[in-house]
Amino acid sequence: MSEPARRLRLVGAAPYREEAEALLERPGDASLVERGVTRAMVLRCPDGCGETLVVNLDPRSGKAWRLDRRQNSTTVYPSVWLDGGCKSHFIVWRDTILWCDRFEDGNVEPAYDPALEDAVLEAVPFDRDVGPAEVGDALDALAWDVAKALRRLALRGAAQEGVGRARGRYRRR
């Protein structure tokens, strides 16, 4: 198998899945399905297995991922994790594909501003656990940036990560 894709390439949009899929050429290519609202992202699996993935972006259709198109880049939250097939697990953060499994070696995270940590800490309550998306919404920040800030705050002892089902959620110390 060749090297997996490390970048997402958004190649366009179409009103229907079949048309969106026809735009994909190589691993890591993605296109949007848009009919009035953005409904899904169609993605050629970045591991090179040849599969086409459909990521639901419309909460009216069930569990949905968040799409953020800020800063001329594409971010999807949370991670994409395939239960079947190639079982790939990856993050899309500012057009960067970060692998959470067999391709982790070679990951290079997008630039991060540690100054965000002060604002994140102020937004995290003492009395309940919150996740990166909730804090990101409150601060108008990317969920993956907030997730990194929360992990760093926990390492410093300023925040505490939940355990079990609350893993990935934080509260202020």
Query: Could you tell me if 45 and 122 lie in one domain?
Result: no
Residue 1 pLDDT = 54
Per-residue pLDDT reduced to its tens digit, 124-134: 999 999 999 99
Reported as a pLDDT band with limits 50, 70 and 90, residue 2 is confident
Query: Could you tell me if 22 and 83 lie in one domain?
Result: yes
Which of 71, 99, 127 delimits the end of a domain?
A: 99
| Within-domain flag for 156 | yes
Task: Report percent pLDDT > 90 for the chain.
Answer: 91
Which of 39, 74, 99 delimits the end of a domain?
A: 99
One DSSP character per residue, the chain reads --PPP-B-EEEEEESSHHHHHHT--STTEEEEEEESEEEEEEEE-TTSS--EEEEE--GGGSS--EEE-GGGS-EEEEEEE-SSTT--EEEEETTEEEESSTT-TT--PPP--TTHHHHHHHHS-SSS-B-HHHHHHHHT--HHHHHHHHHHHHHHTSEEE--GGGTT-EEE-
Per-residue pLDDT reduced to its tens digit, 59-100: 999 999 999 998 899 999 999 998 888 999 999 999 999 999
Residue range(s) defining the domain that contains residue 123 = 116-172
